[in-house]
Amino acid sequence: MRAAAIAALCMGACGPPAACGATFGLPSDGSTIVGAVQVVTDIGENTLLDIARRYDLGFEEIVGANPGVSAWLPPRNGRIVVPRQFILPSRPWVGIVINVSQRRLYYFPEPGKGERPEVVTFPLGVAREGWPTPLGRTVIAAKYRDPAWLVPRSIHEERRREGEPSLPAYVPPGLDNPMGMHALKTGFRSIFIHSTNRPWGIGMPVTHGCLRLYPEDAAELFARVRIGTPVRIVNEPYVVGNKGAELFMSSFEPANDYAAKESPSQAVSAAIRVLEEQAGQPGRFVVNWSRALEATGGVHIIPVPLSAPDGVVDDTVERTAAERYPHAPYGVEANGALPPPES
């Protein structure tokens, strides 16, 4: 099946309120935050993983936004928070930017004449401990539809050490291939941005260095990205952004394989400084440092306001009206290499 056809299928499968990739127009006022937090209820038999996939979120994002809620048996009539608000990575906003700590890919397509610039963002399955994805700049070096997988010697050796069943040296294209149906090769050795035949792992540290996408997201990105597209991979567990003059921060579980070059407070301070420099306004933002330091002590999927004084409660989620969730569960049969059937 051609990539464009699969992308069209996934658009039908995802349906409103979200397309397969979360697509937003870039702010024209210098802000660096897109999207909005949503709340759904009356979810029927859906799991949090069903809801996450419908809204193009990863496992850690949906679970982190709903502490104490069972991923597999959430309350049917409870309020399920859908954290579809994202702080964009630092500029330049060109090509593909990946934050491995955030477990998210941002694609900034070049706008056509008269078109508003936009960003498309996808959740990722990222590397597990001991298999770090290289950081830095590279490009999309090749594109493969229906890829085969030549299992690296390092993975064979790992499985032997751990007493796991051996793998074949060659896994042919098809539904049982862990690379799924679409793969983008980066300029980093053996590092691909690819689909998967186990989409429930999106948002988790599950790979040997590659970056996994939901099958429908991989099809969409594959159809849009050209060979030579720049790729920038960063590890930023503390992401700072602004809405106008208001400052916000999200924090994520730091990836253990990258040595921290600075303390959390230094990282946040540096991120604020970069944001101000990019806006051409040093010292622009008022920062409540007690809030900022508190936010570095845990995972905060939903951006935390840093400009508000102590005692001011952020009640964004509480004020958000719950919408009825109209979709049936994807079902276990959708945990495969193809985009899910229309619900």
Give one DSSP letter per residue of 204-248, joined into a string: SEEESS-EE--HHHHHHHHHHPPTT-EEEEE--SEEEEEETTEEE
Per-residue tokens: 193: 């941005």
Q: Cα–Cα distance between 187 and 132 in angstroms, integer?
A: 15
Q: Cα–Cα distance between 242 and 274 in angstroms, integer?
A: 12
The answer to whether 13 touches 55, Cβ cutoff 8 Å, is no
Report which of 56, 26, 55 is spatially closest to residue 241, judged by C-alpha positions.
26
User: 3-14 vs 215-224: helix axis angle to the nearest 10?
Assistant: 130
Q: Cα–Cα distance between 217 and 44 in angstroms, integer?
A: 25
Handedness of CA 53, 57, 60, 66 (dihedral sign): negative
Token pair 């429930």: residue: 200
Instruction: List the Cα angle 140/142/145 in 5-degree steps.
Output: 120
Catalytic residue positions, numbered: 194, 210
Where in 26-125 does DSSP place strands (E)?
A: 33-41, 80-87, 95-99, 104-108, 118-123
Backbone angles phi, psi at 44, to 5 degrees: 65, -130
What is the distance of C-alpha 161 from the center of its chain?
A: 31
Q: Cα–Cα distance between 77 and 58 in angstroms, integer?
A: 22
